[in-house]
Amino acid sequence: MTDFVVEERPERPWVGVSITGELAHWGRVNAHVPQIYAALAAAGGIPLGGPVYQYHRMKTAADPMDITVSVPVAVCIELGEGYETGVLPAGRYLVARPEGGPDVLDRVHGEMWQWASVQGLDLAIEERADGIHWQARTEQFLTDPETEPDRSKWAVEVAYLLS
């Protein structure tokens, strides 16, 4: 079982690209990561860590989902056409930091939902006909794949905003 904590967090600025993507074609989603870092560098911005995947709407893992691929920054900086800026909202977050990279995420998300329910924690979501709409659900990769090619050693942070 993964360890979970509840953390109070300030707003977190980001730059990125919002898209609709599918797990079956995740390479199309990931293709935005180097583009965002390159645009940020060209604009003189400094990233504050690894990429953050923000999930906004999801029905099932097989369905298209609305997602923002982003990079955390100290302050929002305009990168030009096709890029967005925003902030992850301040608040209380349920957080897990498992090792195992993308291969453990399905299990970790299931455990987080179960743990939140047992603890009486409400996730900041709205259930609609087209899926679950998240106020803030993120996965941030903490390990650079360039320096650690073994996916089983990658650390990732999963965070859900609580109501």
Parallel, antiparallel or unpaired: strands 131-134 and 65-72: unpaired
pLDDT at residue 35, as a whole number: 96
Cβ proximity of 73 and 84 under 8 Å: no
The Cβ of residue 144 has, within 10 Å, a number of other Cβ atoms equal to 11
Q: What is the DSSP letter of 146?
A: T
pLDDT at residue 9, as a whole number: 98
The pLDDT of 77-84, averaged and rounded, is: 95
pLDDT at residue 1, as a whole number: 64
Task: Give me the residues paired with residue 65 across strands.
Answer: 21
pLDDT at residue 126 above 70? yes
pLDDT above 70: percentage of residues in the chain: 99
- Confidence at 119, pLDDT banded by 50, 70, 90: very high
CA distances from 144 to 1, 7, 8 (A): 24, 24, 26
pTM higher than 0.85 for the full model? yes
Q: Which fold has domain 10-90+123-157?
A: Multidrug-efflux Transporter 1 Regulator Bmrr; Chain A (3.20.80)
Cβ proximity of 70 and 15 under 8 Å: yes
